[in-house]
């Protein structure tokens, strides 16, 4: 699969992952590496095609991201997108300048050479998505213009060297025939074959795990979330009882989470799972703490300590398995460098460097949708595979202010009702993430003839494609009314419910 692949060089575009996903959806493996990947390593990978991504920089600035010009002489077809087009033009002798008329948003693409193999199945006039302030004013020698918009050379190619340049972003949905353009590059120009599938991936990965692990033992921290659950199931299928899972019940999990994990993965899949009830430890450490960052760090630190203690009780374990997925890998090697910390410990992680294990990460090449597909192929029930994201600190960051057992129990019940009703109304898979937040606010209410003074809770439901931006879900009023009635009537401790109609940005999906 790797020898029949497309390599994407990352210049800092926000759309890099979209490019890789579009190509993988076609049945071809696509991999993202930083733009400074050494030329010899690119050659070693033997890609069938190379894509130079977009990016926010200007090629004529002193600190612009550059590549080795020899990449164009490897005989490997190149598709240069946005910044990639400007860089290619700049390096090969053309001219790039700041445009008088910048293009951000929709534009009309007019083909100048409709017979070009890049445009098979694409009409002479179609909508594309532009995002640039620089543009090519003079093509490099050997290049010809094959499409334009009202304000720029939109597409060019060097047929002799098999280099294609596009100023727009074919990977975004606003570009009408973007999928067709990528398909033409991947199959017509790079001559790839379809051989990337989750069935093939499972077979190859199982074989690789067996070869890597041999007769040694593997330890995995099972959270019940999609990534760790699929990783555990895949590894167990490969090596059986050589795998030991540790499930830490922090007291901040969803209702019956420990029971469900033990039943599905312990009883049904016959995994060796050690369940640790650490609720008292976590709640003790969190007592009196209200600051969100402080709570996150306490939960993360305590998790590591509990995990370490349990791991220390095991003998002859050589490998530590993690549910690392491809977006985690891409982010860690991003050319943008470390981003500002908005919140720490979004997922359980940060295991200490002195743990004497070799890492085993069987999902590190997969996107989230591919992880879910693997899970289904392995027989994990849909209701576990399609679960909404749940943060590592759990309810600890959905209880605003100090965390107590009383509040955690109240929130667990309310959240369970909300999720249950979403499933009953066939809405759960139509929203991206839904949960309940418990506020450190009490208000007056009347239940029967009795005055109450109880907590206020918030329903949060968001719709998103990539979790970078999100809008609030337009749930039916009748549905919200039913959820409100159930929570207020059935959950002792809540007498007022509100609905969060904030989008991201400026708000985040989680409240803390």
What kind and span of H or E run contains 107?
strand 95-111
- Residues 174 and 178: their CA atoms lie apart, in Å, by 8
User: What is the C-alpha separation between 368 and 33, in angstroms, rounded?
Assistant: 18
* Cβ count near 69 (within 10 Å): 11
Please confirm, yes or no, whether 157 is among the known catalytic residues.
no
Among the options 135, 148, 169, 236, which is catalytic? 169
Is 413 a catalytic site residue? no
State the Cα–Cα distance between residues 212 and 231, nearest whole angstrom.
15
What does the DSSP 8-state code read for residue 254?
P
Q: Which of 37, 171, 180, 512 is catalytic?
A: 171
For helices 405-424 and 477-490, angle between their N-to-C axes, nearest 10 degrees: 140
| 135 annotated active-site | no
Considering the candidates 31, 82, 310, 370, report the single residue annotated as catalytic. 82
In this structure, the dihedral spanned by the alpha carbons of residues 145, 21, 67 and 177, taken in order and rounded to 10 degrees, is: 10
Q: Alpha-carbon distance 58 to 75, whole Å?
A: 27
Instruction: Collect contacts of 328-336 with beta carbons under 8 A, ≥24 apart.
Output: 328/364, 329/364, 329/365, 330/10, 330/16, 330/17, 330/32, 333/33, 333/34, 334/10, 334/12, 334/34, 335/10, 335/11, 335/12, 335/34, 335/35, 335/36, 335/55, 335/65, 336/12
Catalytic (active-site) positions:
82, 169, 171
């Amino acid at each position: 699969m790797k020898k029949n692949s497309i390599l994407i060089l990352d210049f800092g575009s926000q759309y890099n992952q979209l490019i890789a996903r579009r190509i993988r959806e076609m049945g071809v493996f696509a991999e993202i590496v930083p733009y400074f990947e050494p030329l010899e390593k690119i050659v070693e990978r033997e890609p069938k095609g190379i894509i130079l991504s977009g990016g926010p920089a200007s090629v004529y600035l002193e600190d612009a991201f550059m590549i080795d010009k020899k990449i164009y002489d490897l005989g490997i077809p190149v598709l240069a997108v946005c910044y990639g087009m400007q860089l290619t033009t700049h390096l090969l002798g053309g001219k790039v300048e700041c445009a008088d008329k910048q293009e951000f948003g929709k534009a009309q693409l007019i083909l100048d050479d409709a017979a070009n193999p890049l445009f098979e199945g694409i009409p002479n006039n179609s909508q594309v998505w532009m995002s640039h302030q620089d543009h090519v004013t003079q093509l490099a020698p050997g290049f010809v213009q094959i499409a334009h918009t009202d304000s720029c050379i939109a597409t060019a190619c060097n047929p002799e060297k098999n280099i294609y340049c596009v100023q727009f972003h074919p990977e975004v949905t606003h570009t009408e025939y973007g999928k067709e353009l990528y398909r033409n590059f991947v199959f017509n120009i790079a001559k790839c074959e379809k051989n990337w599938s989750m069935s093939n991936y499972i077979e190859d990965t199982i074989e690789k795990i067996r070869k890597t692990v041999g007769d040694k033992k593997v330890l995995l921290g099972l959270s019940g979330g999609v990534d760790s659950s699929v990783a555990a199931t895949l590894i167990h299928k490969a090596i059986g009882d050589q795998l030991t899972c540790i499930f830490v019940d922090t007291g901040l999990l969803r209702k019956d989470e420990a029971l469900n994990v033990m039943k599905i993965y312990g009883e049904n899949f016959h995994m060796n799972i050690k369940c640790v009830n650490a609720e008292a430890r976590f709640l003790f450490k969190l007592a009196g703490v209200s600051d969100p960052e402080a709570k996150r760090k306490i939960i993360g630190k305590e998790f590591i300590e509990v995990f370490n203690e349990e791991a220390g009780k095991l003998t002859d374990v050589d490998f530590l398995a993690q549910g690392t997925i491809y977006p985690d890998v891409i982010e860690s090697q991003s050319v943008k460098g470390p981003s500002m910390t908005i919140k720490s410990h979004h997922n359980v992680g940060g295991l200490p460097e002195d743990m004497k294990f070799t890492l085993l990460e069987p999902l590190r090449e997969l996107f989230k949708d591919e992880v879910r597909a693997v899970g289904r192929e392995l027989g994990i029930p849909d209701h576990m595979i399609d679960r909404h994201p749940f943060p590592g600190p759990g309810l600890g960051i959905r209880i605003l202010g100090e965390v107590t057992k009383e509040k955690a129990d109240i929130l667990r019940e309310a959240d369970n009702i909300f999720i249950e009703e979403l499933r009953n109304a066939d809405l759960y898979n139509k929203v991206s993430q839904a949960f309940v937040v418990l506020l450190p606010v009490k208000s007056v209410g009347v239940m029967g003839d009795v005055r109450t003074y109880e907590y206020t809770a918030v329903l949060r439901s968001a719709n998103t494609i990539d979790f970078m931006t999100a809008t609030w879900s337009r749930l039916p009023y009748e549905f919200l009314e039913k959820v409100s009635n159930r929570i207020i009537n059935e959950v002792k401790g809540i007498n007022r419910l509100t609905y969060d109609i904030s989008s991201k940005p400026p708000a985040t999906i989680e409240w803390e």
